[in-house]
A = this chain, B = another copy of it.
Amino acid sequence: MKIVIIGGVAGGASAAAKARRLSESAEIILFERGGEISFANCGLPYHIGGDIPDRAALLIQTPEKMHDRFNIDVRVQTEVTNITPEQKTVTALDYRTGQSYEESFDRLILSPGAAPFVPSIEGIDNPATMTLRNMADMDRILTTLDSANTRRAAVIGGGFIGLEMAEALTHRNLSVSLIELAPQVMAPVDVEMAEPVHTTLRQQGVDLKLNTGVNRFDHHEHGVTLTLTDGSHLDVDLVILAIGVRPETSLATTAGLKTGKTGGIAVNRRMETSEKDIYAVGDAIEINEWVFGKPALIPLAGPANRQGRIAAINALGGDAEYRGSQGTAVCKVFDLTIASTGLNEKVLQQSGTAYKKVYIHANNHAGYYPGACKINFKLLFSPEGKVLGAQASGLNGVDKRIDVIAMAIQAGMSVYDLEEAELTYAPPYGSAKDVVNYAGFAAVNVLNKSVEQVYSENLTEVLTETDSILLDVRSPDELIESGTIPGSTNIPLDNLRQQLHKLPKDKTIIVYCAVGLRGYLACRILSQKGYSCSNLAGGYAMWRQSHSLRTLRQTERKAA
């Protein structure tokens, strides 16, 4: 059995190692176009920023180690330029010798990855505008940073790499502009949940330009001048293009392999392409996301590793199936963590799927234990209670809660299960009622109709269209400290029972507090006393996040 693997990072390296564990007798050849295999591509921004001082730490596996441990014939700096499926051969070009040669295979595993997307904008192809995919790209950026003249940078794109690079360049004392065409960074979360990331970026001195694109690049001796879509100009010394990635499918399509709707290489659950004995894995393929089973490109390392193992098992006559991906993701943005799993509201709306949502602001651990900080949490669920997705941000404990929800989604659990989740509790780690439990409680209250919710994005509309009163149940000192929603009346929750007579029964009472909990308690009192009432989901905190976005958009519209 002769197995040829194209691409030596994540999926390809995993496939090679798994194939060897399954078969000592197989001949395994791994082609890698670059100089390294299995390097820590997720670590590149952290070496640039200085968190990982030692470049060698990024080289997880060397061709030599891969050979010694797994008896893999690793051929770096060698690009496969052609595949002939019917003859079961590939053509390989060795960059070092300039020679091309043929290699036969019994099974072929493609792991070509995805390349940074470079749009066709005038002047974009210039020496100061760079992408970051591999060690060579990283080294090129580092060389530029070592020049004393590199003081200002523009990062284009607010995805994982864009955010990590904005942080890395700030750590390197550059003045950084982050330019994002969408109204938010971190596309996997919804716009209001990205707002804490926007705030963090601005607090850290990043010049964040949302709803902004680049019309042209002018490279000159002093750097690059960007002409932005708002007509303004930006002079920088370095541009990092991090708009996203596109699956590398040219080799596959030239060989006649089918691609899917999203442009990725089409595979079935066994990682088989449209051609017999040819498998494909990783960022280049189209896979089914988990919750809906729709085709998607999910260029993440975890799925790539799993797919690599599955392809190896099947290539060697086994039977393994990939279940799909649920798109679990996390990003560190300075001291903030933002993470998500499952479906977001944008996707649910686009697909016309019925859903409900709740917001929770709760401590990462017992409030009385030092270091407690708030987690900003959003849970999406079906009208029947099935958990569809979650998003969260905060300083600590965010990844843990999203991992818990990732398991809930994988298992098809409901919000009733989240109520009952029995998570670790001691004061340094959590609370007897965890954020996840609170999300379950709040969701069940919605499903049980214990409370009606109003969302911040609809508040103005609801207040205009219904005969209603906006009731703030926070304490007076909170109003002074944080501000209020215009037009609201204040009755603190603890005085509500005594002051009910102040509220007319013929109007709908829209209640809000700081984060939604006291608003819920107020609604319980009001509804039992015969009032029609709703609670503002996520309270004043979420209204402010949503409102600041709206103000921004209106300002931009006026400016446009």
Contact = CB atoms under 8 A, between A and B. Distances in A.
B411 A521 contact: no
Interface in A397-438: 399-400, 402-404, 406-408, 410-413, 417, 419-430, 432-434, 437
A556 to B, nearest CB: 31
Given A400-B403, A420-B306, A424-B339, A370 B51 contact: yes
B400 A43 contact: no
Contacts of A23: 528
Contacts of A450: 21
Interface in A327-386: 327-332, 337, 339, 341, 366, 368-370
A524 B24 contact: yes
Nearest to A424: B330
A450 to B, nearest CB: 8
A289 to B, nearest CB: 11
B424 A305 contact: no
Contact of A24 (B303, B426, B529): B529
Contacts of A290: 422
B305 A433 contact: yes
B302 A423 contact: yes
B422 A302 contact: yes
Contacts of A460: none
Contacts of A426: 42, 160, 330-332
Interface residues of A, number: 83
Most buried by B among A22, A411, A430: A411
Contacts of A408: 407, 411
Given A407-B411, A417-B411, A421-B407, A427 B302 contact: no
Given A368-B60, A370-B51, A528 B25 contact: yes
A521 B304 CA distance: 21
Quick one: copies of this chain in the complex? 2
A424 B40 contact: no
Given A303-B422, A366-B40, A411-B407, A494 B68 contact: yes
Contact of A69 (B69, B404, B427, B521): B521
A471 interface: no
A319 to B, nearest CB: 12
A493 B58 contact: no
Interface string A485-516: 00000000110010000000000000000000
Given A21-B521, A370-B52, A429-B332, A424 B402 contact: yes
A21 to B, nearest CB: 5
Contacts of A22: 524
Nearest to A498: B68
A407 B402 CA distance: 12
Nearest to A10: B432
A428 B332 contact: yes
A68 B497 CA distance: 9
Interface string A511-550: 0000000000100110011000000000000000000000
A442 B83 CA distance: 36
Interface in A45-98: 46, 51-52, 57-58, 60, 65, 68-69, 71
A423 B403 contact: yes
A301 interface: yes
Nearest to A69: B494
Contact of A413 (B411, B417, B433, B524): B411
Given A305-B433, A432-B301, A323 B420 contact: yes
A300 interface: yes
Contact of A421 (B20, B410, B419, B428): B410
A229 B227 CA distance: 83
A205 to B, nearest CB: 21
A341 B57 CA distance: 35
A404 B68 CA distance: 35
Contact of A406 (B337, B366, B421): B421
A424 B410 contact: no
A370 to B, nearest CB: 6
A131 interface: no
Nearest to A405: B407
A328 B525 CA distance: 35
A129 interface: no
Given A42-B366, A331-B426, 6 more contacts: A24-B524, A51-B369, A305-B433, A332-B429, A399-B429, A411-B412
22 contacts: A21-B524, A24-B529, A40-B427, A43-B368, A51-B369, A52-B370, A57-B368, A60-B368, A68-B494, A69-B494, A290-B422, A301-B425, A330-B425, A341-B424, A399-B430, A402-B424, A403-B403, A404-B407, A406-B424, A407-B407, A410-B413, A410-B421
